[in-house]
């Protein structure tokens, strides 16, 4: 189990030195004077304290919108009720709304990943060239042309949906849905 270790120079989180947290660390804060071990005075610079970490985490019901941020640990002088050799460290967290730029980047990234997985750029380029040839030579079948135009409409529709989500978020404070784009047309 992790605890907070604190002495006059260091404060860090670490594994408790004993296998059983209910046991005090043998010889901790003792000094040998004339062959006899004595407790260090409470204000001694070499005094070591261990703190039991009590976490206070709010539930993050919307991880798309909020990050759970750890606040600085608060070391108390209060002893733990069960482990009397440990003090209490309160570890608090707060929910912090993600920045707008991060939300917009995620909207862009998710649409890009969706389009790339459904309709790779190389295929988009090939189909765009094919459509140009249709206009020049009229060599392609009508159903093929219809399919390629449907793909273009689908791409534009996905982009419009993403743009509308961004607009609603920035102008109307409506948090966007991620994903949920229309299905690619079949040939």
Q: Domain check: are 29 and 105 in the same one?
A: no
pLDDT in tens, 148-158: 999 999 999 99
Residue that is last in its domain, among 97, 120, 141 = 97
Q: Domain check: are 80 and 12 in the same one?
A: yes
Compute the distance between CA of residue 104 and CA of residue 90 in angstroms, rounded to an integer: 35
Q: Domain check: are 73 and 58 in the same one?
A: yes
- CA 100 → CA 2, 65, 107, 176, 180, distances in Å? 35, 10, 11, 11, 20
Residue 137, pLDDT > 80, answer no
pLDDT in tens, 89-101: 999 999 999 999 9
79 backbone dihedrals φ, ψ, rounded to 5° = -85, 150
In a domain, 115, yes or no: yes
Compute the distance between CA of residue 47 and CA of residue 30 in angstroms, rounded to an integer: 9
Question: Which has more pLDDT, 92 or 29?
Answer: 92
In a domain, 152, yes or no: yes
- Under the banding of pLDDT at 50, 70 and 90, the label for residue 41 is confident
3-state SS class at 140:
coil
Residue that is last in its domain, among 69, 97, 125 = 97
Least confident of 35-49, 51-65, 107-121, 170-184: 35-49
Q: Domain check: are 93 and 150 in the same one?
A: no
Q: Domain check: are 73 and 91 in the same one?
A: yes
What tokens appear for 125 in the block? 């380029």
Q: For residue 140, what pLDDT is reported?
A: 64
Segment 18-30 mean pLDDT: 87
Q: pTM here?
A: 0.68
Residue 163, by phi and psi: left (phi above 0), alpha (psi -120 to 50) or beta?
A: alpha
Q: Domain check: are 78 and 106 in the same one?
A: no
49-56 and 87-97: which strand pairing? parallel
Q: For residue 184, what pLDDT is reported?
A: 94
Q: Domain check: are 115 and 93 in the same one?
A: no
Cα dihedral 91, 77, 8, 90 in deg (nearest 10) = 0
Range of 80's domain? 2-97
Q: Domain check: are 105 and 91 in the same one?
A: no
The mean pLDDT value of the chain amounts to 90
């Amino acid at each position: 189990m992790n605890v907070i270790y604190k002495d006059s120079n260091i404060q860090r989180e670490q594994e408790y030195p004993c296998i059983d947290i209910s046991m005090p660390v043998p010889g901790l804060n003792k000094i040998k004077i004339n062959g006899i071990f004595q407790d260090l005075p409470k204000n001694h610079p070499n005094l070591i304290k261990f703190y039991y970490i009590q976490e206070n985490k709010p539930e993050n019901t919307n991880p798309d919108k909020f990050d759970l941020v750890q606040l600085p640990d608060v070391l108390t002088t209060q002893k733990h009720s069960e482990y009397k050799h440990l003090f209490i460290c309160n570890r608090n967290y707060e929910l912090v709304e993600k920045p707008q730029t991060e939300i917009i980047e995620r909207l862009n990234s998710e649409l890009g990943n969706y389009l790339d997985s459904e309709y790779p750029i190389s295929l988009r380029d090939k189909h765009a060239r094919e459509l140009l040839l249709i206009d020049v030579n009229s060599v392609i079948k009508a159903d093929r042309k219809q399919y390629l135009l449907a793909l273009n409409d689908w791409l534009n529709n996905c982009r419009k949906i993403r743009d509308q989500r961004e607009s609603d978020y920035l102008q109307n404070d409506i948090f966007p849905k991620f994903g949920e784009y229309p299905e690619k047309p079949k040939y």
